[in-house]
Structure formats: structure tokens, C-alpha cells
A and B are shown apart, each in its own frame.
Chain A
Amino acid sequence: MSTETTHDDHHGPARGLSRWVFTTNHKDIGTLYLLFSLLMFIVGGAMAMVIRAELFQPGLQFVEPQFFNSMTTMHALIMIFGAVMPGFVGLANWLVPMMIGAPDMALPRMNNWSFWILPFAFTMLLSTLFMDGGAPAGGWTMYPPLVMQTGNAFPFLIFSVHLMGISSIMGAINIVVTIVNMRAPGMTLMKMPLFVWTWLITAYLLIAVMPVLAGSVTMLLTDRYFGTSFFDAAGGGDPVMFQHIFWFFGHPEVYIMILPAFGIVSQIIPTFARKRLFGYSSMVYATSSIAFLSFIVWAHHMFTVGMPLTGELFFMYATMMIAVPTGVKVFNWVSTMWKGSMTFETPMLFAVGFVVMFTIGGFSGLMLAITPVDFQYHDTYFVVAHFHYVLVTGAVFSLMAAAYYWMPKWTGNMYDEKLGKLHFWLSTIFVNVLFFPQHFLGLAGMPRRIPDYSTQFTEFNQISSIGGFAFGLTQLLFVYIVYKTIKGGEKATDRVWEGAEGLEWTLSSPPPYHSFTTAPEVK
């Protein structure tokens, strides 16, 4: 076998725009993903601000109901598919090869494509805001028959979901293949950092469920334009069938957004507790159990659709079971901190905040799982509060933690610790002002997805909106901190953190363009 041209001859990156468009380098692609994610977080957040502004008072003030529904729908689609998922994929791109001692991702060209579909998909999705009939307004869950009333935006919605799916599947395949095939000698599966483990399982979930989403929206498309009757009772179909197929994707999807977060937190807590992760192998088993269970709980989103009693019971029991492996994770994190030697730099603060607030979100999830009471909670702000706790103080906080934790490695510069801590505290305070009152709103009977509400809900909505604006503004601070760190700052050491373990810390900060040109030996 010839060896002379087994790789790129010039070792540095290309210059200018073409570096980013044509790159096959995992770090460049990781950076693209992360910046894209930040951009989408701002766009989706701006839509959330419209929602919170309209809900500041009863009555219609700023936007018409149809547009409000578009904001809700687009906010969710952008946050989920544009901010959180690409954020995690960006981290995987940066970190997985470095953590397992590989030169790059296994399929570098496809890696480029996975990313470069996204800007097109989201441009398409955002362009629907300017179409006849407005942007999609049927909720991110796209339930028929309502979604069929979407105007010209309808096919654009469907096709952008298809494109996002293609991107996610290719990204996930790349990650699985990298993990199974590119590990350095001695890096056995049970030696892999937990972040790698959680991503392996996440990628598996992605490959399993994104095609199902594609199938379900394809049926929407043919029902609307090609005369099929999958979701039409007159033809023997059923609108609820869509919900089953959608949630078969949708529930694993929410774990897709939390498993990598578990991985991040499992990297950070041991570092700052200066103590090995407690119960490594049970963490791996718990993650796998969560993934398995995630396939058999989907109908807990549909307790009110009129399922037979046995179905309701099955899905209630299965859903409750998820608390067990998730609890194992929480207990292991706490035990890792126990008798550690802890310091609280910004990444650790975000990780601790994650553990507390994710658990609160988990508890409300458990309450939702109890079918007889979900009849009361369903489609109220209690649900909104639940999923923002697991998504914002869960997934997004873990992304923040990861950014602070690895930014010195990525850029070679330390971030501003004072500002980082300020960012954490402001975020934590305001995010609770934002979402905690929504529990009360939901219990008191405020439905979700409404632009106007009866006057008894005014006070808590005002508190929530104020929290929302403040939380949003606080994120500008984050943008500034990132900018400042990229521009310069105190030089980071290779190890960066005193207690950091793992191959990525053996590389220089910033790491060389090709991570491990010779595979490291893992004891």
C-alpha cells in the first residue's frame, strides 16, 4: 500500500472562506457547528422574547394570534434542531477524536456535508416567515389535521425537516463509526470517557429515530398533495396515528438532547472534585437503559388522546421506570462530589446548576408520567415548565458548562473567570424567575400555546416575562465572553484544569490541526 499521500500534504488549514466551506477537519467542522448553534440560539431566543413580550399582559398587544403560533412553532424547531442538537454535534466533532486518540473523524468528507446542509435547511425554514399564509403555526409537533392548514410554507417545512434529518443521520453515523473504529490502541470501550459513551448511545438513537420522523412528515406531505389518507378517518386513517409515529421519534429525541449533557457533566464534576467519577460502569449501564426505555414510552405525550386503558397503564409504568437509571446518574454525580476536593470555576458552577435544576425538571417529568394527573397537567404551562427545566437548565446549561470547560483548550486562551461566574449567577437566577412561575401557571389552569389569557394569570406571566428578558440579556454576556476569549487572554496550559484527566489534555492548547498524528498509547 502506498503511503506517500495518505493525508493532506500541507499541515495547516487553508486560508479564508474556503477553509470553512471545504474543510474536512474535525476541529474546523466542530467550530462551525458550535457557532451555528450559538447563532440559532439567538434567533430562537429572539422568538422566545416575542412570545414573552406578548404574554407580559392579557389582551393582544404586539402580535396577532396566528403569528404568535408561528413564533412558538419556529422557536421550538430552531432551538431543538438548530441550537441544541448542532451544539452537541459540534462538541462531539471537537472532542471525540481527541478523547479517543484519533487523527480525525472516520469519514471526513461526509462530516463536512453533515454540517453544510444545516445552513441551507434553516434558511429555508426561516424564509417561511415571509411566505403567503405565514410561517408554520401548528406547533413543533406538526399534528394533522391542523398542520394541513399551513399556507405556502407547508412543503418548505416538510423539506427542511427532511434536510435536518439527513444532516443528523450522517453526523450520527460518522460519530458511531469514529468511536467504534478509530480508538487508539488500548482505548477499550470501558476506558472511554463518559462523554464518548453517551455520544455513542445518542448517535445510535439518532440513526434509529430520525428516519421515522422523515417517514412521518413524508406521510403529511402525501396526505396533503397526493391524496393519501394516512391521517384522515374518512379514508380509514387516524390523526392520532401521526402522533404515535411522531412521538416514537419525539421521545428518544428528548433523550438525544440530554444524554450528551450527562456525558459533559460526568467529565466536569470529577475534574473539579479532583476525584474519579463514582460508578463509571453503572453510569454506562444507566445510559444504555435510558436509551432502551426511551423507545417504549412515547405515548406518555398522548395520554389524553383516548388510548385504551391497558395502553395508558403500560406507558405510565414504562415512563416511571426511567426515573430509576436517571436517579442512578444523579446519585453517582453526588457521590463523586462527596469527599472530593472541590473548587468552583465556571464550568463546575454550571455543572452543579445542571444537576440541581435538571433534577427538578426530572421530578416534574415524573409527575407528568402519572396518567391520572397528566389529564390535568397535559398541554398546560406545567409541561412548558417541565421541558424548559430539562432543556434550558439541562441541555443548554450543559452546553455552557462545556464551552467554559473546553474553550481554553480550543482557543488556547483562558476565558474571563469573573465574567464567567457573573454569567452563571445571572443565568441561574433569571432562568428560575423565568420558568419556575410557569409551574404555578400550569397548575392553575393556563393552557400552552395561547397568545392571550384570562386575568388571573397576569402576575405570574409578568414575573416570567421579566425573568425571560433578563435571562435573554444575560446571554449577550456569554456572546461577549466567547468573543473575548477567541481574541486573546491569559494563555492556557495544556492541562488547563488541575484535576483534568483524559487524552485531550495531553495535547497542546490549542491542539495541533491534526489531533493525534501518531496514536497515543493508552494504559
Chain B
Amino acid sequence: MLVTRLKRLLTASGGAALLLGAPGALAEYGLNLPRGVTPISQEAYDMHMLIFWVCVGIAVLVFGVMFYSIVSHRKSKGAVAAQFHESTTVEILWTIVPFLILVGMAVPATKALVSMEDTSNSDLSIKVTGYQWKWGYEYIDDDISFISSLATPHDQIYNENPKGEHYLLEVDNPLVVPVNKKVRLLVTASDVIHSWWVPQLGMKKDAIPGFINSMWIRVEKEGVYRGQCAELCGKDHGFMPIVVVAKNEADYAQWVAEQKSAASADAAAAEREWSMDELMARGEKVYATSCAACHQANGEGIPGAFPALKGSAIATGPVDKHIDVILNGRSGTAMAAFGAQLSDIDIAAVATYERNAWGNDTGDLVQPSAVKAAR
């Protein structure tokens, strides 16, 4: 274990020394931008390499001259200082030449930017909403919507178990898109600013509460692509990954059909009465994914920041107040309005769970219908 660690460390430093020398062999360590799988990401990659090499070229020139004079024009070698100290000609020259180089860069950059910002003629629109700390996806034309949150278990993060292959970059419900289709993503947020970014797809857009930003992707290769929230959004900013699965047309159509039937099954389930055991089991799951980040798995919260639900006046008091807090949140605090993220069943389940877990034994049972009525 230690030896392989050390070996990897050494190769990585060797790789750093080689700079971007042999991209293939060093790909494992991710030295460079990925080329990616969308036209946008490839344009970005090409621009990146172009400017990188221009900078390297200028650096070699400037540092070359400088180190040459550092080596030869030193006093210990008997160098005597020359007297010249200005020249308008060279000043003009080295103002104009860099300027022209910059113009040379600006032209392809402008072209790339214009095509990136052109979201017209898309085949499909998906609304992406950032929440603290998960993503919500809503297929605008297909009536599909779901929440996507971190799937890495707590014990891996706290080093109690070995870390999995996709540590921190795995979610419960990935975003699914068809390949070779222009997909428009409409990005927004419900609480604070987040930023949606998958490096292989080459685009990053901030999710601003109250505003919608649009961007587009056209994935050209089937596969699973991983990214992360890229704007500081509070405590668990490092724990809100994005996973995109690109499927071919047939698989995508099948997935859409599955989602739709699952949605109608859920709708039916919301109508019936639920038993205590069912609600507690489901509630525990919802609590773990949606609430435990702040109120903690043991319901004790974090003093000064997040209130304890264990023994809280709300979680043991009148049911309607409790549902109200969960549905509508508390404005101006980190407690978000979960009505937009969770279904009636989930809210009923988590409320039931909170009222009966950690010794809050109220015995109350909250039915989905009650939540529906409270909306």
C-alpha cells in the first residue's frame, strides 16, 4: 500500500517535471485539461493549448535573454556596465508586437465564445436547480423531475472504510441525456449561488437564485461524465457532485419511459394511507440524504448553526407547524423550502421520522395527504 502510494507519488512528480510531455502515459494523473466529448470542450481545449504554447514561446524568449545576461553579464566575470538606458524604438516595438500577438489570440477566442453562447435550435431543454447541497433536474418537455445527491457514504468520507473508485463523484440519480442532441440546460438555484460544471462537457455556468442562465451541450460519445459544483455554496460545497450519463437514442427513450411510469406510480402511492413502518423506513432515507447534512444523523444539529431536532419544540409540537417549516423553510436562514424538492410522500415520511426518531417518541403519523393539504 505504502509502496504503491510512494510509486504513484514519484511518477506524478516525474510527470510534473516532464510538464505536458507525454500526455498518454500521464493521463491517469490528469495534468492537462481533458479534450472532452462536446464541440465546446474541444474548442476550449484547442484555445487552451494555443495560448499555452504562445506563453511558453514568449517565456523561453524573455527568460532566455535574461538568463543569458545573468550568466554572462556578471561582475565576477569582469563585465562592465554599459551606459544605455532608453530607446523609444524598442519601447514601441515591444508594445506593438505583444499587442499583435494578443489580437492573434483574440480572433479564435471570439469565434469560440460566440458559438458557445449560441443556445438557439436546441432539441431538448432541462432545468437545472442548485440546492444546498444537491442538484434538481426537470425535463421541461417530458414532465420528468428528480433530485440528484451525493451517493458516497459517510464512513468513506470519515476514513472509516476504504474509498471507492468514484469517491465523491457519484450520485443517486444521474442526469441522463441523449447523445448527439443539442441539449439546453437552464440553470438556476433556490438558495445560494452554485455552479454547474462537468469538465468533459466543457461548460460551466453559475446557478443564481432568481435568475436563469442557459448553456448548451452536445455530447458526442456515450458514457458517464463526472463533475462538481464549482461555486462556494457553504459547508458541503465539496460534496455536491454532478454525474451525467449520455445514452444513445433507444436507451434514452427507454429511460424516459421508465421515469414516467415510476412517476405515475408515485402519484398513485401518494393517495393511499401509509403505515408507520413504511413511513419510518422511507423517512430515514430522506432524512439521510436531505437533512442530515445540517441537522446531523443523530438529530442533534450543530450548536450555533443548525438547531437540534431531537427534542425540538417543532418536531415534538403541533404537526402542522412542523410540516410548514419543512415545506416553506425559514426565509433568511439556511433552512430551505423543501416543498419544491421533495414529494408529498417524502415530506410525510421525513416528518414522521423526525417525530419518532432519537427518542422524540410522539407516535404521530403524518400522511402524504396531510402534506398535500398543507401545500
Contact = CB atoms under 8 A, between A and B. Distances in A.
* A/B contact in complex, CB under 8 angstroms: yes
Interface of A: 58-61, 64-66, 69, 132-134, 137-139, 143, 145-146, 148-149, 151-152, 224, 232-234, 238-240, 273-282, 304-306, 309, 312-313, 316-317, 320-321, 323-324, 327-328, 330-331, 334-344, 352, 355-356, 359-360, 363, 366-367, 370-373, 375-376, 378-380, 436-437, 440, 443-445, 447-460, 462-463
Given A281-B86, A339-B73, A372-B47, A312 B29 contact: no
**For the complex of A and B, 7 pairs with smallest distance between CB atoms:** A233-B210, A444-B30, A450-B238, A306-B213, A459-B12, A132-B304, A339-B82
Interface string B225-264: 0011111111111110000000000000000000000000
A343 B209 CA distance: 58
Interface string B18-59: 000000000011111110000001011001100110010011
Contacts of B65: 334, 338
5 contacts: A277-B85, A304-B204, A338-B65, A379-B231, A455-B165
Interface of B: 8-9, 12-13, 16, 28-34, 41, 43-44, 47-48, 51-52, 55, 58-59, 62-63, 65-66, 69-70, 73-76, 79-87, 90-91, 94-95, 98-99, 102, 105-106, 109-110, 112-114, 116-117, 156-159, 163, 165-169, 191-193, 195, 197, 199, 202-206, 208-211, 213-214, 227-239, 302-305, 332-334
Nearest to A322: B102
Contact of A376 (B55, B94, B106, B202): B202
B99 A324 contact: yes
Contacts of B84: 278, 339
Contacts of B305: 66, 132-134, 151
Contact of A328 (B91, B227, B234): B91
A146 B109 contact: no
A335 B90 CA distance: 10
Contacts of A378: 195, 204, 230
Given A132-B305, A280-B86, A453-B238, 20 more contacts: A59-B157, A66-B234, A69-B232, A146-B233, A149-B234, A233-B211, A279-B86, A309-B117, A324-B102, A334-B65, A340-B81, A341-B80, A342-B75, A343-B74, A344-B74, A379-B231, A449-B238, A452-B238, A460-B29, A463-B16
Contacts of B202: 375-376
A65 B235 contact: yes
Nearest to B11: A459
Nearest to A337: B69
A189 B296 CA distance: 64
A379 B238 CA distance: 12
A454 B167 contact: yes
A295 to B, nearest CB: 19
Nearest to B192: A146
Contacts of B114: 309
A194 B45 CA distance: 40
Contacts of B209: 145, 233, 239
B48 A316 contact: no
A65 B238 contact: yes
A224 B333 CA distance: 11
Contacts of A66: 234-235, 302, 305
B124 to A, nearest CB: 20
B86 A65 contact: no
- Per DSSP, chain B at the interface is mixed
B70 A370 contact: no
Contacts of A342: 69-70, 73-75, 79
- Per DSSP, chain A at the interface is helix
B332 to A, nearest CB: 7
A331 B177 CA distance: 51
B228 A447 contact: yes
A65 B79 contact: no
Contact of A449 (B12, B28, B34, B232): B232
Contacts of A148: 332
A370 B47 contact: yes
A143 B193 contact: yes
B29 A316 contact: no
Contact of A61 (B159, B165, B169, B332): B159
A412 to B, nearest CB: 26
B169 A367 contact: no
A24 to B, nearest CB: 39
Nearest to A449: B232
Contact of A359 (B59, B231, B333): B59
A59 B159 contact: yes
A280 B85 contact: yes
B335 to A, nearest CB: 10
Contact of A367 (B16, B48, B239, B332): B48
* Most A C-beta atoms less than 10 A away, residue of B69, B84, B169, B233: B69
A460 B48 contact: no
Contact of B163 (A58, A152, A224): A58
Nearest to B160: A59
Contacts of A309: 113-114, 117
Contacts of A457: 30
Nearest to A305: B206
Contact of B66 (A239, A337, A379): A337
Given A146-B193, A278-B85, A379-B231, A324 B98 contact: yes
A169 to B, nearest CB: 29
Nearest to B88: A282
Nearest to A450: B238
A266 to B, nearest CB: 12
A30 to B, nearest CB: 30
Given A149-B334, A306-B208, A337-B66, A445 B163 contact: no
Nearest to A432: B16
Contacts of A280: 85-86
A444 B304 contact: no
A61 B157 CA distance: 9
B232 A375 contact: no
A9 to B, nearest CB: 45
A7 B117 CA distance: 66
Contacts of B165: 455
B86 A460 contact: no
Contacts of B98: 323-324, 327
Nearest to A463: B13
A277 B81 CA distance: 12
B33 A59 contact: no
A137 B241 CA distance: 20
* Most A C-beta atoms less than 10 A away, residue of B55, B84, B113: B113
B75 A341 contact: yes
Contact of A323 (B66, B70, B102): B102
